[in-house]
Amino acid sequence: MTTVTEETTPISHYERIGGAAAVKAAVELFYDKVLADPELAGYFTNVNMPEQRRHLALMLAVVLGGPNEYTGRGLAEAHQPLGITPAHYARVGEHLIVTLTELGVPGDILADVQAVLGQVREQVVSARTA
């Protein structure tokens, strides 16, 4: 049995999955999936995707316990004007979880990411019908 001492610093999810390089790889694969999804691609027609990818990588780093360097708009401000439906939000979440699973992210981290998706849902979803 391992005893936790005061000097023991828990390793963040961010560090466990490989830090910035792993987050960047996840974001690239995630957006490849989202942009190939005909139900979701339209949301990104006029979006600067390099900037979008950078923003998501910074936000995902924060969610995973990494450095907080995100300085963009808040979730509600960025997403409410888009009329995102509950079904589309769920699809995006599924793409994210599938991506992280494919990259070998452990189940406890997946569960935490899913919990965050549930917590921020109302900030993103604004349309009530599909």
User: What is the share, in percent, of the chain residues with pLDDT greater than 70?
Assistant: 92
**Count of beta carbons in the 10 Å neighbourhood of residue 124:** 19
pLDDT at 127: 81
Least confident of 50-54, 71-75, 94-98, 120-124: 71-75
What tokens appear for 73 in the block?
A: 């708009």
Instruction: Indicate the domain borders of the chain.
Output: 13-124
pLDDT at 2: 54
- Give, in words, the CATH class of 13-124: mainly alpha
61 burial via Cβ count (<10 Å: 0-12, 13-18, 19+): buried
- Per-residue pLDDT tens for 31-86? 999 999 999 999 999 999 999 999 999 999 999 999 999 888 899 999 999 999 99
